[in-house]
Amino acid sequence: MSTEQWSRLSTDAFNVALFAYIAGMIGYFYYLAFRGQLAWRAARVAAFLGLSANALSVVSRGVAAGRVPWGNMYEYSSLLALLVVTGYLFVVEGVFKVRVLGGFVLAFSVLTMAIAVMFLYVGPGPLVPALNSYWIKIHVVAAITGSSLFALGSIVTILYLAKDRRERRTAAMTPIAGGSVDLEDAPPHFESGADEPVGEATRWGILPSAAVLDRVAYRTIAFAFPIWTFAVIAGAIWAEQAWGRYWGWDPKETWSFITWVVFAGYLHARATSGWRGRRAAVIALVGFASLLVTYYAVNLWIVGLHSYAR
């Protein structure tokens, strides 16, 4: 196949993935609202279809460009969507058996991919010399993996905040509530599907309990943190090779540092009395906001050495 054909295949697969993710998102939200098993199965099929198309798109893009497919923002976005959905389907749904977060996860991927096609598209081509390094490949893979996990953790954190609020309201209305909740001591796995905890409004009841959501969020972010740390270190090593300085407070560096500091703050907050729970969750969301700035705003609006990576 010629370069053009590979390139076209990549674009087509990208579009298929985007629409499959949209379909999956709708299915998952339907499942969240009405709990139809059929809806869940259909949504899952759509998500896997999207995932395959997404993977095909990434690979054929790499073939078309004759290099690793993470050289610019369009390619980062596609890969980010791929990793977030993979993480969700295989870890959150596969390991934690939490089925109800799919809509939110797919919504994130759809948004990422939509922004990528609308604003960030560039044709496949070789990398500019500064980006052509061993370390940047490692750096970008780590950064995207870390970001997708942070994104997953943050989506769960938002749901935790919503659910927690709900639980507090119900608790305030029920006389038997009381005692402190040890977050680590939530009931074991919430098996989704038939046996929901009772006594909740259906739409909220389908979400795992706040304690479980909080734990999943913490685990995900704690998993992402060392990967992000590694990404920042690999970036510094690359910067040292490319520009002769490992750290220069270039906007992209500054924002990845801010993201790192805020998530370190989150991990600390989890171990600080009076900061556990909602306050820590808010810090995680600030970290997520900072991640989005690192990812989009710096490339698109703030000038710096990294800006040519658009």
Partner 1 sequence: MTLRQSLALVWRTLRSMRTALVLLLLLGVAAVAGSLVPQVGTSNARILAMFRDHPLRADIYDKLGLFDVFGSWWFTLIYSLLLISLAACLFPRTRALVRNIRSRPQPSRELDAMRHYAARPVPAEPERAIADARRVLRRRFFRVAQSNGGGPPALAADKGLAREGGSLLFHWSFFLILVGMVWGKGTGFTGQAVIVEGQTWTEAAANYDGRIDEGRFVDESDHSGVGIHVEDFTATYRIPSGIPEDFVTHAELYDANGAFLRTVDIRVNHPAEIDGVKVYQFGYGWAPVVDAREDGVPIASGPVVCTQGPPPQGVSPLQLPWNCVVKLPTLTPQVGIRFELWPDSRSLYALLRTGTAMPMLTQFSPVMTYTAYRGDLRSELVQNATVLDTMGMRRWKQGVIGAGQTKELGAGLTISFPDLRQYTVLQVKRDRGLWIMLLAALLILIGLLPALYSSRRKLWVTAEPDGRGSVLKVGGFALQRRSQFEEEFAKLVDELTGTPRDRVGVL
Residues 224-243, interacting with partner 1 (CB under 8 A):
225-226, 229-230, 233, 236-238, 240-243
Beta carbons of 7 and 58 less than 8 angstroms apart? no
Using the minimum distance from each CB to partner 1, give the nearer residue, 178 or 188: 188
Q: Does 133 bind partner 1 (CB under 8 A)?
A: yes
Q: Does 182 bind ligand HEM (CB under 6 A)?
A: no
Beta carbons of 265 and 152 less than 8 angstroms apart? no
Beta carbons of 109 and 83 less than 8 angstroms apart? no
Q: Does 268 bind ligand HEM (CB under 6 A)?
A: yes
Sign of CA dihedral 65, 60, 68, 305: positive
26 φψ region: left (φ > 0), alpha (ψ -120 to 50), beta (else): alpha
Interface characters, 47-86, with partner 1 (x: CB under 8 A): ----------------------------------------
Using the minimum distance from each CB to partner 1, give the nearer residue, 26 or 278: 278
List 68, 130, 138, 292, residue binding partner 1 (CB under 8 A): 130
Instruction: From 189, 190, 266, 259, select the one nearest 231 (Cα to Cα).
Output: 259
What are the structure tokens assigned to 39, written together? Answer: 């809806």
Beta carbons of 283 and 261 less than 8 angstroms apart? no
Separation between Cα atoms, residue 245 and residue 182, nearest integer Å: 46
List 72, 147, 154, 290, residue binding partner 1 (CB under 8 A): 290
Give the C-alpha distances (Å, rounded to integers) separating 51 from 89, 134, 291: 9, 27, 23
Size of the site for partner 1 (CB under 8 A): 58
Q: Does 233 bind ligand HEM (CB under 6 A)?
A: no
Q: Does 283 bind partner 1 (CB under 8 A)?
A: yes
Q: Does 91 bind ligand HEM (CB under 6 A)?
A: no
Identify which range of 10-18, 35-43, 55-63, 128-136 contacts partner 1 by CB under 8 A. Answer: 128-136
List 16, 127, 181, 264, residue binding ligand HEM (CB under 6 A): 264
Instruction: From 99, 94, 108, select the one nearest 50 (Cα to Cα).
Output: 108
- Count Cα neighbours of 99 within 13 Å in the Cβ-side half-sphere: 24
Q: Does 184 bind partner 1 (CB under 8 A)?
A: yes
- Centre a 10 Å sphere on the Cβ of residue 243 and count the other Cβ atoms it contains: 12
Residues near partner 1, by CB under 8 A: 125-126, 128-130, 132-133, 182, 184-188, 215, 222-223, 225-226, 229-230, 233, 236-238, 240-246, 248-251, 254-255, 257-258, 261-262, 264-265, 267-269, 271-275, 283, 290, 298, 302-305
Residues near ligand HEM, by CB under 6 A: 225, 264, 267-268, 271
